[in-house]
Every structure is written in C-alpha cells, then in structure tokens.
Structure 1
Amino acid sequence: MTELRTASLVAATLATGLSAGLFYSYACSVMPGLGQADDRTFVTAMQRINVAILNGWFALSFAGAMVLIIVAVVLQYRAGGGAAMWWTVAAAGCYLVLLVVTMAVNVPLNDRLAAAGEPGAIADLAAVRARFEDVWVRWNVVRALAGTAAFGCLAWALTLTGRGGSA
C-alpha cells in the first residue's frame, strides 16, 4: 500500500506541475509576446489557442491533477494521515483555486472571444481585445500562482513521505 500511496503522490505532483508550468508559460512568455501584436493577430491567435488547447493531453493533466490529488489524500488518510497528508490537502485547496478561476473567469472570457466571430468580420477588434486581454492575463497569473503553490505543497509532501512523515 505504501507504494500505491507514493505513486499517487508522484502522479499528482507531475500532473500539477504540468498545469502550473502551462499557466506560468502563458504568464511569462505567451501573453507578453501576444501583447506586442496588433489587435487582429492577438484575437486570431487567442481564438486558435483556445480551440487547440481542448485536447486529451491537456485534459489529462488539467483535470487529472485534481483527481490524483484527491486519490493521494484518500490513500494517505487511510494510512493514518500525517504531515504529508496535510500538505496534500493544502495542494488540493490551491489547485481548487486554479480550477475555480479557470471556470469562472478564463473560460467565459475565452467563450466571449470565440463568440465575437472571425477576426476579419469583427468591426472593432480593439474593443474585443480590450474586454478580454487585461482581465484574462490578470487571472491567469492567479492560476499560475495557485498551480505553483499546489505543486510546491505536493513536492513537500513527497519530501516528507521520503523521510517517513506520511503517517
């Protein structure tokens, strides 16, 4: 059972790290780069990115991270809890923030951007971009921070597990 508990924690850490890294990458490279583009390029790129990201690999790490974190918490609880369990619970809380922000802010913004239509047919691209960019970028930073915090909590839980602090 110890191996399964550790494996679930490793898997949760890896999936969470992938998600945190994705949002970090957007925060420090993708969005600053697109921020330098003209309105048509910005809207076109974001519309295409928002379609491309809806794939199985993204879903596996994005949704799978929370599932794996919960599995790790349950397995640690069944083994008697301990410090590693509480760090894993903290990771679940941080990752929940990432999920809520995504579903409450970023996805609705993505949907509104898609609903604006093809960039060539949008009368006021600057207005469409203005309603999207600053809010999306700000909340993506929150996602990046929450994901990084979740990853850090899981990394510490793994450290404690390696030291025998899982139970």
Structure 2
Amino acid sequence: MTADALPEITSKDPVLVVATLGTGLMAGLYLAFDVGVMPVLARREDERFVAAMRRVNDALDDDTAFGALFLGVFMATGAAARRLARAHRSDAARLARAATVLYGLSVVVSLCVNLPLNRRLRTATCTSAAALAASRKAYEGPWRRANAVRTTACLGALTLLGATARRRTAVRTQ
C-alpha cells in the first residue's frame, strides 16, 4: 500500500474506514478484558470480583456511546460490503461480507451469552460466601470463554477489513 492510497480510502469510502476503526476499537476492548481485566480480577476474592464486574457491566450498560459503537460497527461493516458490491468490487465486497459475518458473531455471542450472564450476576443474591462463590463460578468461566470468541471474531473481522481496504486500494491505484 502506498502513502497515496490512504487518503483515497478515506475520501472515497468513509464507511469502510468507520467499519475498520470501529471493529478495531471493539477488538481492543474485548482483548483488554482477555489479557488485562479478567486476569487481574481472577486473583481477587469472590466479593471483590462480583462487585467489580457488576460496576463494569453497569457502566457499559449505561453508556450510550458504547451501545452506538457496538451496533454501529455491525451496520457500517454491512454497509461497506453493500457499497463495494454496488461498485463492482466483488473481491473486496466478499471480504467485507465475511468481516460482517465475523463481527455479527461477536454481536450474537454478546447478546446470547455475555449479556445474559451480566444480568444474572447483577440480580444474583450474594448474601453469603457460598452464594458469592456460586455466582462467580457460574459467571467467570462462561463469560471469559464467550469473550475470547468475541475477541477472535473481531480480530478476524479487522484482518478482513484491512484486506478489503488493501484490495480496494490496489484496484484503484493500478
């Protein structure tokens, strides 16, 4: 990719740029939980783990910007794929569609696994050490596995969107 190619992508296909940057942000968020937040919390006692995850989940649930990014990235990725297909850039459109599917997987995992686990943890009655331990056990392992799927899906989507931009640029610069 030449230095001249980047301005062309930005000015000609801002939807692809938004999709790529948004996917990178979501991949980074999920990865931060995989390699930073959850390993640190894993070393905490049950009460502190549950309290911290409740606070994190409440903050993200109340954050309109996070919700807009979470769903907006999916919409932008799909829109980029449609725009590329309409521009008869079939190879780039195919990559963007695959990225949409991967990012969509992260959305489905979030909605079907992570969010229900967050809600259960929020409403769990943790009045004893045994109840705290049970709530944590029911939450931590499944949540971390699901988050690893989200991270992997977003990193795959990001890779495909990068290839899409390169493919689109290669066609334009030849």
Q: Alignment partner of 1:112: what SS?
A: helix
The more displaced of 31-40 and 69-78 is: 69-78
**Correspondence for 2:116:** 108
For 1:157 and 1:134, the matched residues in 2 are separated by 35
* Residue 162 of structure 1: how far off its partner (Å): 1.2
* Residue 122 of structure 1: how far off its partner (Å): 4.9
**Correspondence for 1:30:** 37
Structure 1: gaps of 5 or more residues: none
Aligned sequence identity (%): 35
- Confirm or deny: 8 A CA contact 2:22 2:69 kept in the other structure: yes
For 1:76 and 1:155, the matched residues in 2 are separated by 14
Question: For residues 3 and 42 of structure 1, do their structure 2 counterparts lie closer, same or farther at Cα, with a shift above 3 Å needed?
Answer: closer
**Correspondence for 1:57:** 65
**Correspondence for 2:23:** 16
Structure 1: 4+ residue segments shifted above 4 A: 2-5
Using structure 2 for the length normalisation, give the TM-score.
Answer: 0.88
Structure 2: gaps of 5 or more residues: 1-8
- Confirm or deny: 8 A CA contact 2:109 2:150 kept in the other structure: yes
For 2:10 and 2:31, the matched residues in 1 are separated by 31
Using structure 1 for the length normalisation, give the TM-score.
Answer: 0.91
Q: Alignment partner of 1:164: what SS?
A: helix
The more displaced of 49-58 and 36-45 is: 49-58
* Residue 91 of structure 1: how far off its partner (Å): 0.1
For 1:93 and 1:109, the matched residues in 2 are separated by 23
1:127 to 98, 111, 134: 134
1:82 to 84, 90, 109: 90
- Confirm or deny: 8 A CA contact 1:6 1:158 kept in the other structure: no
Aligned pairs, number: 163
* Residue 81 of structure 1: how far off its partner (Å): 3.2
